[in-house]
């Protein structure tokens, strides 16, 4: 049984100094087992300026068992490719938001090649799972949701590519840091900033990608205004 009284206190404490930490935690539904956290990207990193959404699920044994945390800021990966044709196409999708050259169908076939979240060696590009010891065996009831989110934020500042969650990204981090950093930065700017956008800006952005406005509006509404979820839904038809 989750200790809800404690969770309640945790949320209050955390949201009290939201102006200082930038970290927020809100309930996702009517009960306190599913929460949504946000962390600001740390300064002087490719994640600076972004706001990252963390999906939090509290297991029955909380606070004895660690909270389950996953990155939920969804972005699309381009394949750092070995196929020349694909490479050109995919790289271009990075700019798709501003230059709508491709039809939605083309965009989808490209985007669906790889759906990832936040580009980081210790974050799975498939599930958003975070490789962090305190979320596993090093968890302690002495920690809180907020301190866990602070550790996730610290992980963004100091990746540990030698203990990767995502081997491919870790390899790029080690072998070609420039490309890694540029990609991570681009994604931050393109996707992790959008949560702050107004509805009209989101609609406009998706329309610019080539989706019909009516469909964009209804899709956005159906996913509660989450632009990335809307894009995912639009792409999956």
Binding of another protein by 140 (CB under 8 A): yes
Binding of another protein by 9 (CB under 8 A): yes
User: Interface with another protein by CB under 8 A: which range of 20-28, 121-129, 190-198, 213-221?
Assistant: 121-129
Beta bridge mates, 70: 55, 129
Binding of another protein by 166 (CB under 8 A): yes
Q: The tokens of 30 are what?
A: 């009517």
Binding of another protein by 141 (CB under 8 A): yes
Beta bridge mates, 124: none
Binding of another protein by 178 (CB under 8 A): no
Binding of another protein by 180 (CB under 8 A): no
On whether the CB atoms of residues 66 and 135 are closer than 8 A, the answer is yes
235 labelled catalytic = no
Binding of another protein by 16 (CB under 8 A): no
Q: How far apart are alpha carbons 207 and 184 in whole angstroms?
A: 25
| Per-residue interface string for the shown chain with another protein, residues 19-58, x marking contact by CB under 8 A | ----------------------------------------
Q: How far apart are alpha carbons 184 and 198 in whole angstroms?
A: 23
Question: Of these, 135, 192, 206, 235, which contacts another protein (CB under 8 A)?
Answer: 135
How many Cα atoms within 13 Å fall on the side-chain side of residue 112? 13
- Find, among 149, 183, 189, the residue nearest to 168 by Cα: 183
Beta-carbon contacts of 170 under 8 Å, excluding residues fewer than 6 positions away, are 121, 122, 161, 162, 164
Identify the helix (H) or strand (E) that includes residue 75.
Answer: strand 75-76
Least distance CB 142 / another protein (angstroms) = 4
Q: How far apart are alpha carbons 61 and 134 in whole angstroms?
A: 15
Nearer to another protein, 30 or 137 (CB): 137
Least distance CB 25 / another protein (angstroms) = 14
Residues lying near another protein in the complex (CB under 8 A): 3, 6, 9-10, 13, 64-65, 68, 82-83, 124, 126-127, 129, 133, 135-144, 166-168
Which residues are the active-site residues? 131
């Amino acid at each position: 049984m989750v200790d809800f009284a404690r969770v309640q206190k945790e949320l209050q404490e955390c949201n009290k100094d939201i102006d200082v930490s930038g970290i927020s935690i809100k309930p996702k539904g009517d009960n306190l087992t599913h929460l949504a956290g946000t962390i600001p990207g740390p300064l002087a990193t490719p994640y600076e300026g972004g706001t990252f959404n963390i999906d939090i699920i509290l297991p029955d044994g909380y606070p004895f068992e660690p909270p389950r945390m996953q990155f939920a800021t969804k972005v699309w990966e381009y394949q750092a490719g070995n196929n020349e044709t694909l490479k050109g196409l995919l790289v271009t999708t990075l700019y798709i938001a501003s230059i709508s050259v491709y039809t939605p169908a083309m965009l989808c076939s490209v985007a669906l090649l790889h759906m990832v979240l936040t580009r980081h060696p210790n974050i799975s590009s498939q599930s958003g799972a975070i490789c962090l010891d305190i979320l596993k065996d090093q968890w302690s009831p002495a920690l809180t949701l907020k301190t866990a989110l602070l550790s996730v934020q610290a992980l963004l500042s100091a990746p540990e590519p030698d203990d990767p969650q995502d081997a491919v990204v870790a390899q790029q981090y080690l072998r070609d840091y420039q490309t890694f950093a540029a990609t991570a930065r681009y994604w931050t700017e393109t996707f992790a900033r959008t949560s702050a956008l107004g509805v009209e800006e989101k609609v406009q952005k998706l329309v610019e990608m080539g989706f019909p406005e009516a469909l964009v509006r209804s899709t956005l509404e159906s996913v509660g205004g989450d632009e990335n979820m809307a894009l995912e839904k639009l792409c999956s038809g």
